[in-house]
Amino acid sequence: MGIYLSSPKTEKLSEDGENGRLKYGLSSMQGWRATMEDAHAAFPDLDNRTSFFGVYDGHGGKAFYDGHLYNFYVWCGCLIKGKKLNLNSPHALIEDPEGCLVEYGKVVAKFCGKYLHQQVLKNEAYSAGDLGTSVQKAFIRMDEMMRGQRGWRELAVLGDKFNKFTGMIEGLIWFPRGEANDHVDDWAFEEGPHSDFSGPSSGSTACVAVIRNNQLVVANAGDSRCVISRKGQAYNLSRDHKPELEGEKERILKAGGFIHAGRVNGSLNLARAIGDMEFKQNKFLPAEKQIITANPDINTVDLCDDDDFLVLACDGIWDCMSSQQLVDFIHEQLISESTLSAVCERVFDRCLAPSTAGGQGCDNMTMILVQFKKTSQSKLPVKKQTSTSERASRPTLKIVQLVSGEL
Q: Pick from 234, 130, 284, 114: which is nearest to 184 by CA? A: 114
**pLDDT value at residue 359:** 81
Q: How far is CA 275 from CA 73, 91, 187, 206, in A?
A: 24, 25, 16, 11
- Give 103 or 364, the one with higher predicted confidence: 364
Write the DSSP string, 362-377.
Answer: -S-EEEEEEEEPP-SS
Residue 290 DSSP one-character state? S
**pLDDT value at residue 59:** 92
The answer, yes or no, to whether residue 157 has pLDDT greater than 60, is yes
> Domain 4-60+201-393, what fold?
Phosphatase 2c; domain 1 (3.60.40)
Residue 176 DSSP one-character state? B
Which amino acid appears at position 237 of this protein? L
Q: Where are the domains of the chain?
A: 4-60+201-393, 65-100+148-189
- pLDDT of 197-231, one tens digit each? 889 998 999 999 999 999 999 999 999 999 999 99
Structural Rg of the chain based on CA atoms: 21
Which amino acid appears at position 310 of this protein? L
**pLDDT value at residue 325:** 98
Environment class of 114 (CB within 10 Å of its CB; exposed 0-12, middle 13-18, buried 19+): middle
Handedness of CA 77, 79, 81, 87 (dihedral sign): positive
The answer, yes or no, to whether residue 255 has pLDDT greater than 90, is yes
- pLDDT of 232-248, one tens digit each? 999 999 999 999 999 99
Q: What is the percentage of the chain residues whose pLDDT exceeds 90?
A: 65
- pLDDT of 332-350, one tens digit each? 999 999 999 999 999 999 9
